[in-house]
Structure 1
Amino acid sequence: MSLDLPLEEHTLPNGLRVVVQPDRTAPVVAVNLWVRVGSGHEEPGRTGLAHLFEHLMFQGSPRVAKGEHFSRLMDVGGSANATTSLDRTNYFEALPAGALDLALWLESDRHLFLREALDQGTLDNQRDVVVEEKRQRYDNQPYGDAFHRMQQALFPADHPYHHSTIGSMDDLAAATLEDAHAFHARHYRPDNTVLTLVGDVEPEHALARVEHWFGEWARPEEPLLPAPHAPLLPLEGTAPRHHRVPDAVPSERVHVAFRAPGELDADHLPLAVGMDVLAGLASSRLTQRLLRTEESVHGVSGHVMGNAAGVSPGFVIADVADGHTAEEVADAIVEELVRVGRDGVGADDLAAVQADTERSWLSALAHHDQRADVLGQFATVHGRPHAAWEWLDGVRAVTEEDVRRAAATWWQPGAFEVITYTPQEDA
């Protein structure tokens, strides 16, 4: 049975989509903006701008000083943050419901008027911040660049998902103030944004306040750029391809990466369910085999991402235990992946995954901020926020044959790139 929570959706004349989900269980409101711009929307030679703007948007606007966005919210007991992915950048606040106007004013000021305050000094300062972030999170953190290596192995150089979210430091160094202004104008526009409010609000009042603060946001005359759509078939071959990465890491770690269907593809949910059968639960096959029986790993996990450009990354990660080899572990992972496509999964496997998925999904939706993010995602990617209430029905509808068929398509023996980090002294 589908969830049936009250939900109102409205589109302003300028194209801004507004989703309001009233919930009076607590006197708080979550404010969430999904902007359809991520690293997958960047142009060659200008990578990293999507993530750079996640930083720039907190550096002040015409009426808000640097650092004031956070301090204003903290003064009323609120919080704020932002994230950037392959497909979107989102900005979010949680605060007392009575301070809704504060959050809407802060968001409208930077979304509408940031370019008026964005100068060379701010650009240079935040560019330096991103360079330091790359050093800390990617270059000097064990396994920090693993996901980027998987992207490079899975996607050709001209694919929107080939480069990392943080981008090329050379590209960032070459980016001019004019480039930054043009990027904001091109992507930060009302018809490219979904604003979601979840919490103790009256929909009619909330929509009126949104119209007050965002109604003057002009839709540019230039047509909205189409979202990247670059579907790919599974990788082909007779066997996985292996890549060894000597690095300053504490132990060997294996990444078995593969292409997976995009979020809107009919194979996405079945393959994601199949991955949970393999690596999503304490009773999953890889956990039972590698961790409990063979004791060849210290831990194993897997994930099928849902992305919007018609294809997604998927991967299994395992830390190799002493006395075992990375090749042994990788071969076992590939063997179990391929086995799902050949032999399928059992009814008990499917029931366990569906029950655990329902528990974790409902637990996530119990939080105002996570529910707002989910609604923003479904409104942006699926075109319908109401589809979030139907998602569990889709998971429950997945059959054993659906999983076997999807796995047989995407998990053939040659569909995998194996990236192994090997400890190297003084790396």
Structure 2
Amino acid sequence: MPLDYPIHERTLPNGLRVVVSPDTSVPNVTVNIWVGVGSRHEVVGRTGFAHLFEHLMFQGSRNVASGEHFEALMAQGGRLNATTWFDRTNYFETVPKGALELALWLEVDRHGHLLDAVNQANLDNQRDVVKEEKRQRYDNQPYGNALIDVYAAVFPEGHPYHHSTIGSMEDLDAASLEDVHAFFRRHYAPDNTVLTLCGDITPDDGFALVERYFGPIAPHPEPRRGPVDALMPLTAPVRVERREEVPNDRLHIAFRLPVDETEEFAAASLALDALGGLASSRLVRRLVRKEQTALGVHATSWGFVDGVSLGFVVVDVATEADATSVESALLEEFERFAVEGPTEAELEAALAQAERSWLSMLASQEERADALSHYALLHGEPQLINTHLDRLRAVTPEQVRAAAAQWLRPESRAVVAYLAEVDTEEVA
């Protein structure tokens, strides 16, 4: 039986798509905004801009001082943040119902009038903040740059997903103030944005409030490019090896997958769960429990919309084990799965985990609002949150096997291996 979360939609004359989902269980409202700009919209030589604006959006706008957005809403008992990803940038806050108009006023000031506050000093300051974030989260963490290596190995140079959201510090250093202003004007527009209200508000009140605040913002009829051509699986293995000071050898074995919200992506995702995404999966049973050559195995799939998605398995190799042998054992299981497909128990376990995860996510007002914005912006249909599980359960064991046979072949893998540095003194 499909879920039945109430979902109401309206598009304002300026192109802003508004979604309202009433929920009177608590007297709060979540404001969730997805802008159709992520790292995949950046061009060579201008990477890192989408993430930079995630920072700049909290540094003041026409009528709001730097830091005041956080201060004003937290003083009302609100919580808020923002994130950047390949396909979008999102901004969100959950506030008591009485603070909703304050939240909308703050949002419209920065979405409509941010550039009044983006001067050279502000830009230089936030570039330094991004550099420090990169040092802390990527450069000075064990395996910190592994996923950056994965993206570059799986997707060809120049492809929208080839570079990470953190981008290039050299590109940011080279960017002029006008470059940054032009990026904002191109992408931050009501006709490239979804605003979702989820919580204690009626559809009529929600639409009226959003139109009052956001209606005056002019659209920006920038041509939006369509998806790039679909990428097929890699035709030969790609390998990247790093010798670093890490606790243990770690293998990232990655594959291209079909685009998100297709039957084929759902089937490939279930295959990865059955292989390595569950506590009872094949790779865990063999490598961790039986052979004890791995400390842990984790498989995941990320659905993207620009012609391709990404799936990968991360294996932490046991200290005394050989990484090459562990990789060979893993590939044996992938080959066997492509022939045999999942057992009934494996598929049911993968579906049960997917259902638990989905229902737990939707039980949170904040995460439900995020899912509504996601489906509205990237798939044009927020109602998909109510039918997602039904579509997943319609996938057959044969579809799962066939997806593995096409997309998860050993010869289509990209391996990023982070190997512990050899102690040369000890060897000597």
What is the correspondence of 1:178-189 to structure 2 with a 5 Å cutoff?
A: 178-189=178-189
Q: Deviations over 1:241-268 (max 9, x none)?
A: 4322001211111111111111043310
Match of 1:268 in 2: 265
What is the correspondence of 1:240-255 to structure 2 with a 5 Å cutoff?
A: 240-255=237-252
User: CA offset at residue 224 of structure 1?
Assistant: 3.1
What is the correspondence of 1:276-295 to structure 2 with a 5 Å cutoff?
A: 276-295=273-292
- The answer to whether the 8 A contact 1:279-1:285 is kept is yes
- The answer to whether the 8 A contact 2:40-2:160 is kept is yes
Match of 2:200 in 1: 200
Q: Deviations over 1:295-317 (max 9, x none)?
A: 11111101111001010121100
User: CA offset at residue 231 of structure 1?
Assistant: 1.6
Describe the SS at the equivalent of 2:115.
helix
The alignment yields a C-alpha RMSD, in angstroms, of 1.4
User: CA offset at residue 136 of structure 1?
Assistant: 1.1
User: CA offset at residue 425 of structure 1?
Assistant: 6.8
Residues 241, 181 of structure 1: CA spacing in aligned structure 2 closer, same or farther, 3 A cutoff? closer
Describe the SS at the equivalent of 2:47.
coil
- The answer to whether the 8 A contact 1:263-1:310 is kept is no
CA distance in 1, matches of 2:74, 2:87: 29
CA distance in 1, matches of 2:274, 2:266: 12
- The answer to whether the 8 A contact 2:153-2:239 is kept is no
Most deviating of 324-333 and 100-109? 324-333
Match of 2:315 in 1: 318
Q: Deviations over 1:313-343 (max 9, x none)?
A: 2110011112211111112222222322211
Describe the SS at the equivalent of 1:108.
helix
Match of 1:225 in 2: 224
CA distance in 2, matches of 1:179, 1:185: 10
Match of 1:401 in 2: 398
What is the correspondence of 1:48-63 to structure 2 with a 5 Å cutoff?
A: 48-63=48-63
Q: Deviations over 1:202-243 (max 9, x none)?
A: 1101110100110011012x4332244242000113xx4432
User: CA offset at residue 355 of structure 1?
Assistant: 1.6
User: CA offset at residue 70 of structure 1?
Assistant: 0.5
CA distance in 1, matches of 2:423, 2:46: 33
What is the correspondence of 1:135-174 to structure 2 with a 5 Å cutoff?
A: 135-174=135-174
CA distance in 1, matches of 2:423, 2:121: 37
CA distance in 2, matches of 1:322, 1:104: 53
- The answer to whether the 8 A contact 1:131-1:169 is kept is yes
- The answer to whether the 8 A contact 2:153-2:238 is kept is no
| Number of residue equivalences | 424
Q: Identify unmatched segments of 5+ residues in structure 1.
A: none
CA distance in 2, matches of 1:5, 1:171: 43
Describe the SS at the equivalent of 1:60.
coil
CA distance in 1, matches of 2:153, 2:111: 36
Q: What letter matches 1:316 in structure 2?
A: V
- The answer to whether the 8 A contact 2:153-2:240 is kept is no
CA distance in 2, matches of 1:228, 1:125: 34
User: CA offset at residue 122 of structure 1?
Assistant: 0.5
Describe the SS at the equivalent of 2:43.
coil
CA distance in 2, matches of 1:98, 1:242: 55
What is the correspondence of 1:26-425 to structure 2 with a 5 Å cutoff?
A: 26-220=26-220, 222-237=221-236, 240-424=237-421
Residues 38, 227 of structure 1: CA spacing in aligned structure 2 closer, same or farther, 3 A cutoff? farther
Q: What letter matches 1:387 in structure 2?
A: L
Q: What letter matches 1:63 in structure 2?
A: N
- The answer to whether the 8 A contact 2:249-2:319 is kept is no
Describe the SS at the equivalent of 1:267.
helix
Q: What letter matches 2:243 in structure 1?
A: P
CA distance in 2, matches of 1:334, 1:35: 39
Runs of 4 or more, structure 1, over 4 Å off, are none
User: CA offset at residue 426 of structure 1?
Assistant: 9.6
Q: Identify unmatched segments of 5+ residues in structure 2.
A: none
User: CA offset at residue 282 of structure 1?
Assistant: 1.2
Percent identical across equivalent pairs? 54
Per the normalisation by structure 2, the TM-score is 0.97
CA distance in 2, matches of 1:285, 1:186: 47
- The answer to whether the 8 A contact 2:16-2:194 is kept is yes
- The answer to whether the 8 A contact 1:287-1:299 is kept is yes
- The answer to whether the 8 A contact 2:294-2:315 is kept is yes
Q: What letter matches 2:204 in structure 1?
A: E
Most deviating of 15-24 and 327-336? 327-336
Describe the SS at the equivalent of 2:151.
helix
CA distance in 1, matches of 2:330, 2:9: 44
Q: What letter matches 1:120 in structure 2?
A: Q
CA distance in 1, matches of 2:130, 2:289: 41
